[in-house]
Structure 1
């Protein structure tokens, strides 16, 4: 609130300043006039009489002065306070603006870091997805190989199982045949026993039966012991087969680990290749952007050079027109001079021309000798070109001199014919149609002027006539070694003119027409006029010298090299060379850009093909994974069903084994009882024999005693017969029991075989499940290691590719 009040007071002071100046200007006092109270007192005092006012003013003046000083002091103090508050607020505002700018800079830097982090996260995610896809491909491939190997192992196990079954079946058939033979033998023995019992051989039958019972027991033992040995052998084979399966699985696991390591190495190589491709793509894109920028700059420079070229072309055309105008004026002056010369003067001119021609021939010979010497050093081809150019130049100069001689001779002989041949340079002015504006006459002008630059302009610039138009090539350097008074130094054959320029030069001016009419009138008067003798001059010596001096000056002016033309030629040659260099650079840059674009297209196509193949492989692997999952579920359901059946069969076999054990105990008890009975019977027989031997048997002497003995024997026979029948029934019961026992043991054996087979299959399935769980566990462990390795590898690739500083 205090700050708001301070700002409000400042605004009020600013708006109500009595001096009309700003209240923030604290350097000058604000009150240069009296305060409002003094002004009011003055206003009230103005209504009083003047004397009274004067007295009161004198009395109140010190009070007013004091009040004024006090008010000014208070106001100055308040103004100082306001100034301090204002300055503090301004400092605080500056600090706040500085802090705000600093926070904005920090915010922009944080935003840039956030964008960089997002870009890094995107790249890391891309690398992670690529590594995950490659890892999944490797896992799927290993799973496929493992499934193929498991299928091959299952086929091998099925073959082994089939072979074991066949062996067991063959053994069982052999045992069944043996038991059938044994049964037939037993039946034969029973029939024989019955026959013997019917014959009354009781004692022998009992002994034979006991022997047969012992033999049967021995046979049972001989059958049971091999079965136990076979069972132990089968258990040993089962353990050996389990060990072999474990060894095979260990070998397969080793091979799978080797394959996984190879896949890891291949994946790392593939990731490095992808990273290299990405870096190459980024580098190529940067190069393409740089080339585009350079191409744009070159195009811009080319446009600027074209503009300068057009400007230079216009200036050249203007200079050319100016030069042609000056040439035309000089030719008119020469024609005027020739029109006033006498025959003596023309003869002197001819002599001077011959001397100049001789000098020119000497110079040409010197040039030819120099050119031949240079050609011996540089090559025969350049020498021939120089000779041809010099010969052409000499021929052209001879033709020009001949034309000048003929034109000068026509002044003496046939003056009326002058209007037709008034222009001595009619045959020398020509227009050249060529693609090269300056180098078209380079073969003729090689020793002079523009052609003296070693034909550089001709090879560097290939400009059309449409760009520059037909130009005028003035060879001014060829007149350095010729006397300025010679008319032959004016070689118009070196000027290249357009048709319009030739027409402008050849057109007769009114002055030329007057001169031609005057000469025609003079020519008509030559027949009647007096001809002076030879050597006589129409003009005085001084005038003749003046004419010769003017003629020399005119030749010197005509033979002088034009500075503007030479500068324009040099500039044009430089620009043409620069333009040729820029064109070469543009062509090179275009070729480089084309190659970069082709390489970029190839990399993009390769990357697209690689992405398509990766997508296709991912789809195939996903379908295979779904199929494998379905197969695993089916196999799990089958395994559960087999486990239930196995448990049920196991319970049944255990119950049957318990019943068989009970029956075996009963049989063993009955066998012991029979052995005891046999032993007791054998002991009683011996006892009876001993008793009979000990008894004093006396043969009966009478019939009655014999009858008694016979009756007693009959009673003994009846009792023995009853005992034999009882024994026979007992033996039959034992035989039936033994048959049932044999059948029970056979059933037990079959059940044992079935149970052992089921146990073997269950063990195989358990082994397969354990191996599957082991491989899955190893794969998951290796997958975690691979994920960690892939993350580390992707981070390293990112650091290498983007030069990211590693922290921690």
Structure 2
């Protein structure tokens, strides 16, 4: 048990033992010194701890600053990401607009191309149609093109054969003169020409007189024979002539090709002869060289004889060389002559083809004009006969209305007029230019007009026969009876051969074929000769006649056939039907006079056949004038056709220029579309690149934020641990200081215990120093490790961020 040391005891002890007190005081002083050292060590440790804490605080503040900078960088990155996102949206809008513009441009280009293709197809179709028409016209016109060409080619062949024989004899004579025939094969082998001649004779059966005369006869028949099957024969002759023309072209080709081969062979032989000549010259040079070498060996012989022999050989070789050169020149001349003849033949063939085309066109034009003239004459003749038939019908109708007394008066007037006509020498055409309008006037109009004279009636009949030629719009009735054939037979004796043929055709037709029922519906003749346009009695006149003169109960009405085949006779017993109305059919005196004048005009018109001749003569003159007018029209049409062809060529050139322009525009549009497509592809590539960069940036930012958060948590944990350790150290220090302050000092009584206590204290101090040093070293190493780690992480993060934004 420790005892408390008091001053009294110390004094008492001091009095008793002074050395012990001194030792104790020494120990106390030592202990105080040790305590001072420990206080100094404690102060030093506290100061060191304060420095360490300050360093940790600086490290914490640095970490906080780094975290703040990273937060600011994150905010900046987010703002930049937003900007990039807005840019991406804008680029997407631009890309959509570009897509829409490209789509619109593509649709427009496709529509334009479709329209142009449709136009081109229509134009191509029209051009094909025109080409087909032109080809058909060319085929039609090529019928008789090669008929005369065959004769000419036959003559040219004979002439060429004669020239060939002449040149052959000349060449053989030259060969005989030059003695080349004895040395080798002739350059121009006669067998070649004989083979060519035989093959030509085999291939040209169409050049015989019989075959040549056949197409000429056929063409003659087709040109001048107006049979109904002329078109079929013409087409057959056209096909035959086309085939023969093709055969003649093949024949000419087969004739020219062997000549060209012969020329080529001659050239080859000339080259071979030239090579032989050069070889011969080389041999001569070698012979001369050998002669020079052999001359010393011939010194024993006579020099004059040797020279003479050499001169003779040289002259013979020179003559041979000159003959070969002459034959070569003759062969070249023969080749040139053949080439010129070939060129002349081809030119003449082309010229004759063009002439045949022109002649064919002119022949077709003349033939068409002749056909039109024949139809015109036939129509005029039919109109004249129809007018005559109408006059006869009118006379029969008027005869039905007359009484017996009126018929007697009419017969007497007719006899007197016939006597007066016989007394008159001949009828003169003094009033030929008077108006012919009264012929087409109906009876109702004639009733109020003056009585025409016989001269006017003659002129009216002549004018009525020319109505179809002068006035196409004037209506002329058409109907044919059995009298038309007889009238044609009596009035067409003075016409030409073409008119006679058409007249024969008209005479051979049945009577009903010229009637209105036999006409083609819708034709000009059917419209012109319709019953509505025939001059007849008016409805009022017919009604009045029916009221005044009703038909008898037992009377049979006349049919149109009976009316057409009635024979007019003005005797009292001529018509049994007219006798039925005796005593009850009466006409007025005015009508009687008008009927009398009409009958007299018709009789005077029908009794003079010379009027027909004059009318036909006038018709012929009119046809000739029409022919001249038609010729003028043909020339005008040809000029118009030429102008149209020029316009067509101009249009074709303009179309070609427009096609080229549209093609260029289409290429430009394609280039623009390709450029826009490339721009769109580039923009899409940039957009994809930006999207990838954006995604990589976001992922890297998220990774960095995650790593920074983890590091911040680690630093926070380390800081918390250090704070706890600091708190523990501070608590332990305060606890130890309080324990030291409150500790009761119990010193041992004896020296040995005191020494043991001092030794234990010293050991504790040594352990405390060792632990302190060990703790310092561990803290220093940990601080260095944390500094290195923070610096490495800071430099690595900055480098990665800088590399990413670059």
TM-score normalised by the chain length of structure 1: 0.28
TM-score (norm 2): 0.28
